[in-house]
Structure 1
Amino acid sequence: MGLFLAQDITKIYRSGNTKITVLNNLSINIERGEMTAITGASGSGKTTLLQILGTLARPTTGSLFFNGEDLTRKNQQELAEFRNRSLGFIFQFHHLLPDFTALENVLMPALIAGHDRKEMIPAARRLLERMELNHRLHHKISELSGGEQQRTALARALIMKPALVLADEPTGNLDSRSGNLVFNLFQDLCRERELATIIVTHNNDLADRMDRRLTLKEGILKE
């Protein structure tokens, strides 16, 4: 068993007498430091899978294990604490707080976890400087470009030093130059920190740069 194991995951939605199987008894094992891309057609269930892997949704059947611990046995409060402590999330839409600065947004997960603000500021500043945003620390989110916003979201995802990062089309809203910059910074940091990473993407070039590429088709992951 690696760092993270999803075992025999099935997700079924019901509407009246209709049953729709989105994920069909699939499994995925992620090792520490491994970068994995998941591709597939629109509507194939990629986002549903990422939500389940991130404990934001529960599977109909199946189990999730993190460092050998069964996450499906945890309650919602325990899962929220696990996500804040061990997972980093990056979305296609950055979901940053518009009334706060870049630095304040990056600090937010640490403050939610109860860390002292003054103690965490140096780490947040270092991450933003690594994202080439040292001149934007105190700018509101609305004052940043799309690429700058996504780099801020990347810094926010890494502030708690997660073991696993889940990303849903992290460069989907960016032009090719900004997208390449975001991905290059992301990949460099993942390598340095030995982060396990799962990226859902339609971008074949990005997927081919990962350690492993899986395709979700008819509810099953295929190499």
Structure 2
Amino acid sequence: MTRIRVLVVDDQSLFREGLRAVLSVDPELEVVGEASNGEEALRACERLRPDVVLMDMKMPVLDGVAATRRLQVQQPRCKVVVLTTFDDDEVIFEGLRAGAVGYLLKDASTAQLGEAIRAASRGESFLEPSVASKVIAELSRLRARPAAASTLVTARELDVLRYLGRGASNKEIAAALFVTEGTVKNHVTSIFEKLGVTSRTEAAMRAKELGLI
């Protein structure tokens, strides 16, 4: 059985140790490393190639939002689940816009934590119930806006969006569309600007919301 490789990122060493102890009981999970800030997390991800990162939001040196955003560029296949004490709207949406696929509070149960990690490894989202209600409210608000951006997306950008929605990397998209990675990056940048998003995950969510994919 191939276990899900997990990296724990938090600036509190006792919390990291506690998480490692809790997760080590699950035979499907393997904690491959720890980091105390965003910079350490990026270096650890490059070295250890985890499947899922449990990311705190408020940390020194480089916070969780910035680290998640950079990780989406460097290793888009690595999924981030936010694990934090903050549940205010601004922090929630910053984390999700940066590319996190899950959001849990630190008082979540062991079962919720395991479920969130498994969902993330499958490329699915998992949100704390209180967070999910806020996201639904925000999506309802966004649906009320005109979808003018959808008329600006070109046919080729739509192709790229479809692959983004499947979690494909730039290299995989380039191979599928018979173009260079540089061309894909240009399309992704253009898509971000047109849809008003800052991450691949948010682009896919926005495209689905607009009925583009």
Which of the five TM-score ranges fits, normalised by the shorter chain?
A: 0.3 to 0.5
TM-score, normalising length from structure 1? 0.35
Name the one with the larger strand percent: 1
Name the one with the larger helix percent: 2
TM-score, normalising length from structure 2? 0.36
